[in-house]
């Protein structure tokens, strides 16, 4: 040990894991954690950093962002999106495939990998699009390094066609054999389309009509159906953006039956409700919608008892013009969140809603585990990547849309006071955000994490009934 010289030793911080908070020093070498312990036990170091009064968290892994690149540079790109991540203590993001063109072929995937690698400040994974038109591309997309797949059961921004139930089953059969996880936009498309058409015909076009088109049953039906198909095929699925209390029943039941199903929610479903609709109409429009306050408590409970595994953001940037159109059916749904998730959740930690260890479990440890990245990611222990959010739990701050890094300067969080802010962020041992400023020269430092992903062996069920078994591969 005495001969080793660390690149960096951070002293006096409180290091947080899902089950402990310890005051210790942490030594970093070659981008990884070398040692954790008493200051006197640390090797000598090229650089030291004093984190007195601060907490060191494994950087958040946001498995649900839309960085819009390629396709919508006026909304966001990999540079602005990952700068926002760095400011939010987020050291790894998974980008959704509803870009232009959608990430559904190996060529498009390779192009997106190249763009991301040239611009990203933080590490990343890329989703491949799974739908009727891309089933045959699954082997190529895996070879090209997707982190997992995204399947749009319901339509939303980008108008990716939703596979019908037959195609969804086939998608799950194919995904099951790969062992990769499939993230689901779990809203029933038929119900939404029918209701939206009728609402439009009736001339309804305010924020409330958007909710009326997507009542809770839209989500619970889709989660139930997805759980059934996942159980049948053995596919691993991840239910994105859980917004209703009702979804928790099929989620819990499927987990109890041993289905590899995981769940995610976002700060807006925990902290905003229909009570905010008239304050920020249009701006608050998101799919699935922010719902009645009665859902919040049960979603919080599910996050704490483990039914919901992950806090992510569905970071969905749009411009003020796109968010403030008078006709709700023409408003682009979603808003930025990658930068504000951590301050909002740390505010809840300060309020006693969850512990700082709970927070690390849902923001870093669990996502790393369910995506096959643990313990390289999602942990601060020897051998882990030194992805660290250094946070000041006592710092008060007011979220201002005008100040956020995202190109999308409009969100329902504008003016909201928070307590607990990331002040420095390291990705693989390198500061990318320091003292609330982006560190020069870190553009392009981020890299794809697919190479370090190790999912468990596939657990295929009912293979003899699969489309491939009954008719052979068609393409």
Interacting residues toward ligand DOR by CB under 6 A:
66, 98, 156-158, 185, 286-287, 314, 316, 333-334
Cis peptide before 86 (omega within 30 of 0): no
Least distance to Zn ion, CB of residue 384, Å: 28
The one of Zn ion, ligand DOR, none whose footprint includes residue 153, by CB under 5 to 8 A per kind, is none
- Residue (98 or 265) nearer to ligand DOR, CB: 98
The one of Zn ion, ligand DOR, none whose footprint includes residue 234, by CB under 5 to 8 A per kind, is none
The rounded distance, in Å, linking the Cα atoms of 188 and 332 is 19
The rounded distance, in Å, linking the Cα atoms of 340 and 46 is 33
From 64, 62, 61, 137, select the one nearest 103 (Cα to Cα): 137
**CA angle at residue 55 from 18 to 83, to 5 degrees?**
95
Least distance to ligand DOR, CB of residue 379, Å: 29
The one of Zn ion, ligand DOR, none whose footprint includes residue 287, by CB under 5 to 8 A per kind, is ligand DOR
The one of ligand DOR, Zn ion, none whose footprint includes residue 157, by CB under 5 to 8 A per kind, is ligand DOR
Interface contacts to Zn ion, rule CB under 5 A: 314
DSSP string of 195-264, one letter each residue: HHHHHHHTT--SHHHHHHHS-HHHHHHHHHHHHHHHHHHT-EEEE-S---STTHHHHHHHHHTT--EEEE
Least distance to ligand DOR, CB of residue 315, Å: 9
Least distance to Zn ion, CB of residue 58, Å: 23
In sequence order, what are the residues at sequence separation of 6 or more whose Cβ sits closer than 8 angstroms to the Cβ of residue 377?
58, 61, 91, 92, 123, 364, 368, 384, 385, 387, 449, 452
- Residue (16 or 283) nearer to Zn ion, CB: 283
> For the chain, percent helix, then strand, then coil, each to nearest 5?
35, 25, 45
Least distance to ligand DOR, CB of residue 219, Å: 12
The one of Zn ion, ligand DOR, none whose footprint includes residue 354, by CB under 5 to 8 A per kind, is none
- Residue (247 or 314) nearer to Zn ion, CB: 314
Least distance to ligand DOR, CB of residue 221, Å: 17
The rounded distance, in Å, linking the Cα atoms of 179 and 235 is 7
CB atoms within 10 A of CB 48: 15
- Residue (284 or 354) nearer to ligand DOR, CB: 284
Least distance to Zn ion, CB of residue 1, Å: 46
Least distance to Zn ion, CB of residue 50, Å: 39
Least distance to Zn ion, CB of residue 413, Å: 17
Residue nearest to ligand DOR (CB): 334
The one of ligand DOR, Zn ion, none whose footprint includes residue 286, by CB under 5 to 8 A per kind, is ligand DOR
The H or E element that residue 50 is part of is strand 45-50
- Residue (347 or 408) nearer to ligand DOR, CB: 408
- Residue (24 or 312) nearer to Zn ion, CB: 312
- Residue (244 or 384) nearer to ligand DOR, CB: 244
The one of ligand DOR, Zn ion, none whose footprint includes residue 156, by CB under 5 to 8 A per kind, is ligand DOR
Least distance to Zn ion, CB of residue 64, Å: 6
The one of ligand DOR, Zn ion, none whose footprint includes residue 196, by CB under 5 to 8 A per kind, is none
The one of ligand DOR, Zn ion, none whose footprint includes residue 210, by CB under 5 to 8 A per kind, is none
- Residue (64 or 377) nearer to Zn ion, CB: 64
The one of ligand DOR, Zn ion, none whose footprint includes residue 25, by CB under 5 to 8 A per kind, is none
Q: Does residue 442 contact residue 121 with C-beta atoms inside 8 Å?
A: yes
In sequence order, what are the residues at sequence separation of 6 or more whose Cβ sits closer than 8 angstroms to the Cβ of residue 147?
94, 125, 126, 127, 180, 371, 449, 450, 453
Copy the structure tokens of residue 353: 């809603």
The rounded distance, in Å, linking the Cα atoms of 273 and 360 is 25
The rounded distance, in Å, linking the Cα atoms of 236 and 466 is 16
The rounded distance, in Å, linking the Cα atoms of 219 and 288 is 8
Q: Does residue 178 contact residue 142 with C-beta atoms inside 8 Å?
A: yes
- Residue (29 or 291) nearer to ligand DOR, CB: 291
- Residue (237 or 439) nearer to ligand DOR, CB: 237
Q: Does residue 331 contact residue 420 with C-beta atoms inside 8 Å?
A: no
């Amino acid at each position: 040990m005495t001969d080793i010289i660390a690149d960096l030793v951070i002293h006096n911080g409180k290091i947080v894991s899902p089950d402990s908070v310890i005051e210790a020093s942490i030594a970093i070498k070659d981008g990884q954690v070398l040692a954790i312990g008493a200051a006197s036990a640390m090797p000598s170091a090229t650089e030291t950093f004093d984190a007195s009064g601060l907490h060191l968290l494994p950087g958040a892994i946001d498995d649900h962002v839309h960085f819009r690149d390629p396709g919508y540079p006026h909304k966001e790109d990999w540079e602005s999106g990952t700068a926002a991540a760095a400011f939010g203590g987020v050291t790894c993001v998974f980008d959704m495939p509803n870009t232009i063109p959608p990430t559904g072929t190996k060529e498009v995937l390779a192009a997106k990998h190249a763009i991301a690698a040239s611009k990203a400040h933080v590490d990343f994974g890329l989703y491949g699009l799974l739908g009727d038109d891309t089933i045959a591309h699954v082997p190529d997309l895996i070879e090209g390094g997707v982190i997992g797949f995204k399947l749009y059961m319901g339509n939303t921004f980008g108008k990716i066609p939703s596979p019908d139930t037959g195609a969804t089953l086939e998608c799950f059969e194919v995904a099951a054999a790969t062992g990769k996880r499939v993230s689901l936009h779990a809203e029933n498309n038929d119900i939404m389309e029918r209701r939206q058409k009728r609402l439009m015909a009736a001339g309804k076009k305010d924020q409330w009509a958007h909710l009326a088109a997507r009542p809770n049953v839209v989500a619970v039906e889709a989660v139930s159906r997805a759980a059934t198909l996942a159980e049948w095929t053995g596919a691993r699925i991840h239910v994105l953006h859980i917004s209703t209390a009702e979804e928790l029943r099929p989620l819990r039941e499927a987990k109890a039956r041993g289905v590899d199903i995981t769940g995610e929610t976002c700060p807006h479903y925990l902290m905003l409700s229909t009570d905010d609709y008239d304050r920020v109409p249009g701006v608050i429009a998101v799919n699935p919608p922010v719902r009645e306050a009665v859902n919040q408590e049960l979603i919080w409970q599910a996050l704490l008892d483990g039914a919901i595994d992950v806090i992510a953001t569905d970071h969905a940037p749009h411009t003020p013009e796109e968010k403030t159109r008078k006709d709700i059916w023409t408003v682009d749904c979603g808003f930025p969140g990658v930068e504000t998730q951590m301050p909002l959740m740390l505010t809840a930690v300060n309020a006693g809603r969850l512990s700082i260890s709970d927070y690390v479990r849902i923001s870093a440890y669990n996502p790393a585990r369910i995506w096959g990245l643990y313990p390289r990611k999602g942990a601060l222990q020897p051998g882990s990547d030194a992805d660290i959010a250094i946070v000041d739990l006592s710092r008060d701050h007011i979220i201002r849309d005008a100040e956020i890094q995202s190109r999308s300067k409009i969100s329902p969080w504008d003016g909201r006071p928070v307590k607990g802010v990331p002040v420095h962020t390291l990705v693989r041992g390198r500061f990318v955000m320091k003292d609330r400023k982006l560190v020069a020269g870190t553009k392009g430092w981020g890299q794809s994490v697919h190479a370090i992903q190790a999912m468990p062996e596939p657990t295929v069920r009912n293979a003899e009934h699969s489309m491939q078994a009954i008719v052979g591969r068609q393409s």
